[in-house]
Each structure stands twice: as structure tokens, then as C-alpha cells.
Amino acid sequence: MTLLQVAGLTAGYGRVEVLHGVDLTVAAGEIIALVGANGAGKTTLLRSISGQVAATAGRICFAGADITGHPVESVVRRGVAHVPEGRRLFAGLTVRDNLRLGGWATRGTDIDRVLGLFPPLAARLTQVAGTLSGGEQQMCAIARGLMNRPKLIMIDELSLGLAPVVVDDIVRTLPDIAATGTAVLLVEQDVDIALSVSTRGYVLETGTIAFTGPSAQLRTDSRIQRAYLARPGDGR
């Protein structure tokens, strides 16, 4: 069943068009990877879906309703969670208060459920979020997004600034999240990780979808290997 359908989406900032007719679908419970070079428009696409950037053409449908042009709050209430680039935790508040705020839209208070997905947070509930380690901050940001029991969680740059082992830990929880019925749309610089955890993938190049298909297939595609999959020694 299609949960999210983006069709012919055009969007940008002021007169600068960033997305030029993007098509993308996410089915319920799926994990989808969205990859592409810096500045391709990945963040802009997520921001359009969550209602922070206005579409100038095209449609966004979610759970059977047309949500194009809806304000952020109402998109969130319909079941979209957006974990923004840079996490954007409420740095001066405790982890518990951050999680409580995460449940704002649905009056969700089941903190234990999200702690089950991220056990390290359980010991940090009374700690001020700004003092968490990078990995803990990302866990807290994802946990906060899950408090509303969303149908879809969009995670922007999961691995940003994190050590590889920490990234592995967090990525390993994505299938668990999907298993609870929450689809995941993952934006990731680390194309290898993104394609290994997802079922399907999209490659965004300067505002248009250049490739899409099953992740296993994309990983072996020579064009994608050449452009995005770093060989040893390349760094990132």
C-alpha cells in the first residue's frame, strides 16, 4: 500500500528552483534510501514533504490525503516525523523533556517504547540534551520523532559527524522501527550504508531523480558505483 506519493514535485527558495519534478513513493513499513551529492536537494525534498518548503508544482499525497501546501503542524499530526539535518534537539531541555515534546501532536507519552529501541538513552533521561554525545543526540532525535507513533519517519543525514561504529548501531535499529509499522525515508551521505539497510533507493541529482530501483540492484550498478560508492582510500 502506498503511504507517501510525491508526483512531479517542483520546489525551491524564492525564485531559485531546487527540485524540478521529483517523483517518489514510499509504501507502508518500507525503508527507502535517498542519496545524492551535496546540494542535490535531498533536504529540500524532505522539507517539502513536511510542509516547510512550499511546492510550486506537483502533488504530495500521504496516507490517502493530498497534503500539498499543508502547514507543518498538520502534516506532523497526520503521521509524518521529520528528524532534521543537524538533529535540532532542544539543547537546554532534558532528554525526557525532548521526548515529551516529541509526543506533542498525539499526546504520546510512551517513553519506554522508544527507549526500548535506543537503550543507551534510558540512563540519560535527566541529562540536558545539549550535553549528549553525537551518537546519543542522534538517537534522541530519532526517538523524539517516534514519540507520535508516525507512519513515516524521515531522517536527514543520520551519520553526520558520527563514528562508523555508532552509525552502525543506529542503522541497525531502522529495521526494528520499520517492523513496528513506521516506514523510514533515509537521507544519507554514506551511500553504501543507505543502500545496505534499505529495500529501494532513489538517487537525486541536481533536483531530479536520476536512478531508482531495488537497493541491491543500485549497489551493483556501475554508474552508481563510480559516482557514489567510495572505493577504499577515497575517503568520503
User: Angle 134-146/95-102 helices, nearest 10 degrees?
Assistant: 30
Residue 147, H or E segment: none
Counting contacts by CB under 5 A, is residue 48 touching Mg ion? no
Between the two ends of the chain, the Cα-to-Cα distance in Å is 36
State the nearest-atom distance from the C-beta of 76 to other proteins, in Å: 4
Residue 43 Cα distances to 37, 132, 188, angstroms:
11, 24, 10
Cα 167 from Cα 35, distance rounded (Å): 16
CB contact at 8 A, 130 and 89:
yes
Counting contacts by CB under 5 A, is residue 43 touching Mg ion? yes
Among 104, 116, 127, 199, binds other proteins (CB under 8 A): 104
Among 2, 8, 13, 176, binds ligand ATP (CB under 6 A): 13
State the nearest-atom distance from the C-beta of 158 to other proteins, in Å: 16
Taking CB under 5 A as the criterion, which residues in 70-89 touch Mg ion?
Answer: 85
Cα 216 from Cα 200, distance rounded (Å): 8
Site string for ligand ATP, 17-36 (x = CB under 6 A): -x-----------------x
CB contact at 8 A, 34 and 45:
yes
Among 11, 22, 31, 43, binds ligand ATP (CB under 6 A): 43
Give me the sign of the Cα torsion angle 7, 10, 11, 12: positive
Taking CB under 6 A as the criterion, which residues in 123-182 touch ligand ATP?
Answer: none
Counting contacts by CB under 8 A, is residue 91 touching other proteins? yes
Taking CB under 6 A as the criterion, which residues in 55-114 touch ligand ATP?
Answer: 85
Cα 199 from chain centre: 15
Contact footprint for Mg ion (CB under 5 A): 43, 85
| Residue ranges that bind ligand ATP, judged by CB under 6 A | 13, 16, 18, 36, 38-44, 85
Interface residue list for other proteins (CB under 8 A)? 50, 52, 72-73, 76-77, 81-82, 84, 88-93, 97, 100-102, 104-107, 130, 144, 148
